[in-house]
Amino acid sequence: MKHPWYYPFVLAAAGNAPYDDIAGMVEHAKSNELALGHFGAPLVPTRVSLAYAKVAGFEWGSEAAFDALDCNTLASGDADVINTTLQLVLPCLDDIKILASVTGERISLTPDTPTMGEVAPELGIALWNGLFVHKDTPQDVRDKIIAVAEKTMMSERAQKLAEETGASVYWQNADDSAAQIVADREKLGGIGALLE
């Protein structure tokens, strides 16, 4: 069973970047070096950003891991494009450009911004958090956990969090979650192959 909620990852650029969307960034990157800031090369959102360069036919001028990727990272020019959570750039959302999201669906706070899956279907993957129990957990106990978790995910408090932060908050049952895990493993395998 899965009770996802997560702060979605986005690709963001400074408000004065000479491009307004991901297609414009690609064209700019083909003749200009862009520095990508991320939280670490092994992480899924970073791998998606690195693989996107291969799919779109450009190279990042440089890429580096940062301890923090927020409004200051873009304002200082430490990176041209950052792969970060929407929560970390909320304070300056009106002053930056969100180019794409590493989410399954568009983010409510940035409804005009495409997901990476829309831009490049082979990169359509999203992060999620799950609630798992040991395989020997009795069904009646599972049912009680499911009832509480599903109610919590659909609560006014959880939905308010989603509305205010762009976090994705939803409930997915055990069978659908198992299918999602299989699909995500396949997608990650494809992304890994692009990066070889």
pLDDT in tens, 59-95: 999 999 999 999 999 999 999 999 999 989 999 999 9
pLDDT of residue 6: 57
Confidence bin at 3 (pLDDT 50/70/90): very low
pLDDT of residue 4: 42
Write a three-state SS string for 105-144: CCCCCCCCCCEHHHHCHHHCCCCCCCCCCCCCCCHHHHHH
| Angle CA 67–37–40, to nearest 5 | 60
Which sign does the torsion angle of CA 38, 166, 158, 142 carry?
A: negative
For the residues 7-12, what does the mean pLDDT come to?
A: 91
**Topology at the third CATH level for domain 8-126:** D-Maltodextrin-Binding Protein; domain 2 (3.40.190)
Are residues 4 and 130 in contact, defined by beta-carbon separation less than 8 angstroms? yes
- Each residue's pLDDT tens digit, 100-157: 999 888 988 899 999 999 999 999 987 877 788 899 999 999 899 888 888 888 888 8
For the residues 13-24, what does the mean pLDDT come to?
A: 97
**pLDDT at residue 19 above 60?**
yes
pLDDT of residue 44: 93
Q: Kindly give, in sequence order, each residue whose CB lies less than 8 Å from that of residue 120, ignoring residues fewer than 6 positions away.
A: 52, 55, 56
pTM of the model: 0.84
Nearest alpha-carbon partner for 53 in 73, 34, 80:
34
Q: How far is CA 101 from CA 117, 129, 132, in A?
A: 9, 17, 26
Q: Kindly give, in sequence order, each residue whose CB lies less than 8 Å from that of residue 39, ignoring residues fewer than 6 positions away.
A: 45, 46, 65, 66, 69, 83, 84
Q: Could you tell me the strand order of the sheet in which 96-102 lies? A: 62-65, 35-38, 81-85, 9-14, 96-102
* Percent composition of the chain: helix, strand, coil (DSSP 3-state, to 5): 45, 15, 35
- Each residue's pLDDT tens digit, 39-67: 999 999 999 999 999 999 999 999 999 99
pLDDT above 70: percentage of residues in the chain:
95
**pLDDT at residue 98 above 60?**
yes
**pLDDT at residue 15 above 70?**
yes
